[in-house]
Structure 1
Amino acid sequence: MKKKSILVLGAGRSSSALIKYLLAHAEGGNWHVTVGDFNVRAAEERIKGSQNGTAIRFNIEEAQSCGEVVASSDVVISLLPADFHHKVAGLCLAYGKHLFNASYVSEKMQSFDKEAKEKGLLFMNECGLDPGIDHMSAMEIIEGIKTKGGKVLSFESFTGGLIAPETDVDNPWRYKFTWNPRNVVMAGHGTAKFIQENQYKFISYQQLFSRTTPVHIPDYGNFEGYANRDSLKYMDTYGLRGVKTLLRGTLRNEGFCPAWNILVQLGCTDDSYMMENVGTMTHRDFINTFLPYDDKEMVEGKLLARFGLDGAGPEMLRLKWSGFFDTELVGLTAGTPAQVLEHILNKRWKLAPQDKDMVVMWHRFVYQLGGKAHEIQSHIIMQGDDAVDTAMAKGVGLPLGIAAKLFLEGKISQRGVCIPVSKELYGPLLEELKSLGIHASEVERALL
């Protein structure tokens, strides 16, 4: 029997677990894995000389060579930045190939639904960690509530990629970059929309990090969550039309958001213009550019006055630890504020080889059954092995790999642009994740 061909596009930090999984199952699944990346050496490092894998150079902007690579594949898994998925989808439509990715469904991607269905193609999106495992674990609980006759009244869900408790213990942010740093810096742009106790709520970017939700997880401590951009669109997806509360968000360790909010309020996350004098700019200069002119006051004093901070408080501690008051050169010749911020943070927030990250996912449901209210709290904790085999890579890559395997085994009947909320997919996928050590801990109690 001819081997199937799986094409993985992107060999970056989220790809390690996916590629390792696909190679491990290549013999049993009768497939060959091709990994394409602009940096062919990165692809080679992921393949590690496996006879079931091939590394190639891939540039999405080179249309002809891209088309040839896609045409020779059966399934394409895209780990490219989300902005490129529609280009990959266009190639998959042109050559009749199935597509999997872990990113949110964009309007452009959704526009491919009709043609994909007509051609019998599956374009599976949001099949990673968040979005992905969050959808599937939520749907399993929602369906369980409905099966016993209950009605969901409230659903809150937060997920965060953090660092393990034993990693970099002096880091006051309790955070490092475990996925695309640019996405972290740009997170939250736009207005967050959700419903809370039957009232629609909207939080602008300028307010987002000062309006957080406290979350406590037994044995792991206190966290804070900020709202994602659009929770409302998942009402129909989850079958929760009429729910009183629906809020999806991002989780951070307690104290992160107040400090990050200072950078937001200053304008450090703005990506709309290029800064002057970046080539000679120090970290300290960068912060000072956003503060009023005062030749008699130091940068620290200006910050204290601007935000009413305590000089020895947690916000200033985090900013100082990050090097924002240092006289070190930024190290770029040009950049937007967001690009400069990312570059400065990457000096402290880049995972060291021995660092371990941690993914925390938390759901809270309130449902009614027999005239009584009940609460379910569910959480998933994943911990990485090191800076390469991260929890984030496992959370993003394993669902994609399992979904592709299930599809090639003929166990997914869906076609068109989909996300993993059907029991046909989330049932066996969650079951396999459980066998790999990724499973939810759940506590239920009656509410008075």
Structure 2
Amino acid sequence: MKKILILGAGLSSSTMIKYLLDHSEENKWQIVVGDMDLDLAAKKVNGHPNGKAIKFDINNENLRFVEIEQADVVISMLPAKMHPLVAVDCVKTGTHMITASYVSPDMKALDEEAKLKGVALLNELGVDPGIDHMSAMKIIDGIRAKGGKVLAFRSNTGGLVAPEYDNNPWNYKFTWNPRNVVLAGQGVSRFIRDGRYKYIPYHQLYRRLQTTTVLNYGEFEIYANRDSLSYRETYDLQDIPTMFRGTMRRPGYCEAWNVFVQLGATDDTYVVENSENMTYRDYINSFLKYDRVKPVEEKLCEYLNLERNGSVMKKLEWLGVFENKPVGMSNATPAQILQKLLEEKWTLEPGDKDMIVMQHQIDYELNGVKKEIISSMVIKGQDNTHTAMSITVGLPLAIATRLFMTGEIKAEGVHVPTKPFMYEPILKELEEYGIRFIEEEKDID
């Protein structure tokens, strides 16, 4: 039997593991799931005769090398910073590797050696990056095939709670790694619009918003992702005058989140003194000026020019940031304290379903006529295990793995799914699982 080694059994891996187990009998595969938490890995294997759970520690060099050497393909669901450790061993042992993460400089540096060894290192095969690349390139290549020229590319994605389960004033619940949500956008966001380069520093990011509507799901606000400019090379659109990628949230979220940004509550670079003896009210107060008399709420409103009974304060009060509830964390950074509070309030409840929303807006010119294509996708989760995030991250990975293992996709070296030989068969099968885009096209001035 050929062996597929999956490293990491977190939430986003559930749908992928099920797909590969479901296809294991006909293809004679053994699916080995490795995780620091052996019970979690065993739960994902769920007693399948072709599945095996192992305790896996990425920092155990001998274990890592042996397990990778025994596999035909490794799917890494580990944090992105750990992928190079896996990739180096894969190239050494002649084992192929597939991930959902961005191609890092370390990964890119392995391209030539991987080609010499006949090893495929397939990356960016999740939802964002992944489905975004594949769906966008299908449209872009279609425009080029007709003789058209792409003039503007805007693409936005959001992981949110499905409307039927949207029952808090933030209109948001965690659908992926909470830490990534807390730290999102730090640095400078870069894009180009009508030939002019634009830069948004972090302290302005949640003020400089755009809006869009998606199918019949209403309005969304958009903040810029950190690096839209690199996608000009990814999509071979080096001279395009407008290139923008963003993240979608429901209206009102960004204005309220900006409070934490302006306070410094998302900072992860220092430890808050005496945090184990703090309440959340103390935590918020620590960012405000000293005043013996004024309450925390009043000081915050004065500092950030908020209405005391406005929607932003109602969101903050609902979170519990003004409560005298112990933080209960020692040696914690501001970001870690904020994350703990949010996890108490923003976690999907049993029975909740999440939702992935993605939309491309592409302007192009053909035979002197300017047109716009709006391509939209909305996917809802099935339950708390097979979430929309798990489905849209895991299925492209699983399908790519099956296609590679069966020889329908052939590759060596470092690849992302921007070429037809990869994106066409993956998108075709994704449609069978209900992951499809609805396109609208119209002439524009």
TM-score (norm 2): 0.98
When the two chains are superposed, the root-mean-square deviation of aligned CA atoms in Å is: 1.0
Partner residue in 2 for 1:119: 117
Q: Which amino acid aligns with 1:100?
A: I
Q: Which amino acid aligns with 1:145?
A: I
Quick one: which of 156, 164, 173 aligns to 2:170? 173
For residues 160-192 of structure 1, the C-alpha deviation after alignment (integer angstroms, 9 at most, x for no partner) is: 1000001142x1111111111111111111211
2:34 alignment partner, SS class: strand
Partner residue in 1 for 2:324: 327
Is this contact kept in 1: 2:280–2:322, CA < 8 A? yes
2:30 alignment partner, SS class: strand
Partner residue in 1 for 2:421: 424
For residues 257-302 of structure 1, the C-alpha deviation after alignment (integer angstroms, 9 at most, x for no partner) is: 1111110111111111111111111111111111111111111111
Quick one: which of 40, 60, 65 aligns to 1:67? 65
1:200 alignment partner, SS class: strand
2:163 alignment partner, SS class: coil
Shift of 1:389: 1.2
Shift of 1:28: 1.8
Mapping 1:233-252, distance limit 5 Å? 233-252=230-249
Mapping 1:181-330, distance limit 5 Å? 181-330=178-327
Quick one: which of 430, 433, 444 aligns to 2:430? 433
Quick one: which of 385, 388, 393 aligns to 2:390? 393
Within 2, Cα distance between the matches of 1:313 and 1:114?
Answer: 58
Shift of 1:116: 1.2
Within 1, Cα distance between the matches of 2:6 and 2:201?
Answer: 36
Shift of 1:313: 1.6
Q: Which amino acid aligns with 2:286?
A: T
Quick one: which of 81, 85, 88 aligns to 2:86? 88
Within 1, Cα distance between the matches of 2:401 and 2:122?
Answer: 9
Number of positions where the alignment pairs a residue of Structure 1 with one of Structure 2? 445
Is this contact kept in 2: 1:163–1:357, CA < 8 A? yes
2:408 matches 1:408: no
Partner residue in 2 for 1:139: 137
Within 1, Cα distance between the matches of 2:253 and 2:92?
Answer: 45
For residues 209-255 of structure 1, the C-alpha deviation after alignment (integer angstroms, 9 at most, x for no partner) is: 11111111131011011111111111122121211100111111111
Is this contact kept in 2: 1:215–1:223, CA < 8 A? yes
Is this contact kept in 1: 2:102–2:124, CA < 8 A? yes
For residues 86-136 of structure 1, the C-alpha deviation after alignment (integer angstroms, 9 at most, x for no partner) is: 111111122111111111111122111121111111111111000100000
Partner residue in 1 for 2:444: 447
Shift of 1:29: 2.0
Partner residue in 1 for 2:366: 369
2:11 alignment partner, SS class: coil
Q: Which moved more, 1:155-164 or 1:93-102?
A: 93-102
For residues 407-448 of structure 1, the C-alpha deviation after alignment (integer angstroms, 9 at most, x for no partner) is: 011122222111111100100100000000110011000113
Is this contact kept in 1: 2:114–2:414, CA < 8 A? yes
* Gapped regions of structure 1 (runs ≥ 5): none
Partner residue in 1 for 2:152: 154
Within 2, Cα distance between the matches of 1:323 and 1:86?
Answer: 40
2:4 alignment partner, SS class: strand
Q: Which moved more, 1:134-143 or 1:380-389?
A: 380-389
Is this contact kept in 2: 1:374–1:444, CA < 8 A? yes
Is this contact kept in 1: 2:74–2:96, CA < 8 A? yes
Shift of 1:319: 1.1
Within 2, Cα distance between the matches of 1:70 and 1:385?
Answer: 32
Within 2, Cα distance between the matches of 1:311 and 1:399?
Answer: 47
For residues 369-406 of structure 1, the C-alpha deviation after alignment (integer angstroms, 9 at most, x for no partner) is: 11111011111000012221100000100000000111
2:345 matches 1:348: yes
Within 1, Cα distance between the matches of 2:403 and 2:282?
Answer: 53
Q: Which amino acid aligns with 2:441?
A: E
For residues 73-97 of structure 1, the C-alpha deviation after alignment (integer angstroms, 9 at most, x for no partner) is: 0000011111111111111122111
Shift of 1:334: 2.2
Partner residue in 2 for 1:32: 30
Shift of 1:310: 1.0
2:92 alignment partner, SS class: helix
Is this contact kept in 1: 2:166–2:172, CA < 8 A? no
Q: Which amino acid aligns with 1:277?
A: N
Is this contact kept in 2: 1:304–1:310, CA < 8 A? yes
Q: Which amino acid aligns with 2:396?
A: P
Is this contact kept in 1: 2:215–2:376, CA < 8 A? no
Quick one: which of 127, 136, 150 aligns to 1:129? 127
Is this contact kept in 2: 1:353–1:388, CA < 8 A? no
Within 1, Cα distance between the matches of 2:412 and 2:224?
Answer: 31
TM-score (norm 1): 0.98
Within 1, Cα distance between the matches of 2:49 and 2:358?
Answer: 36
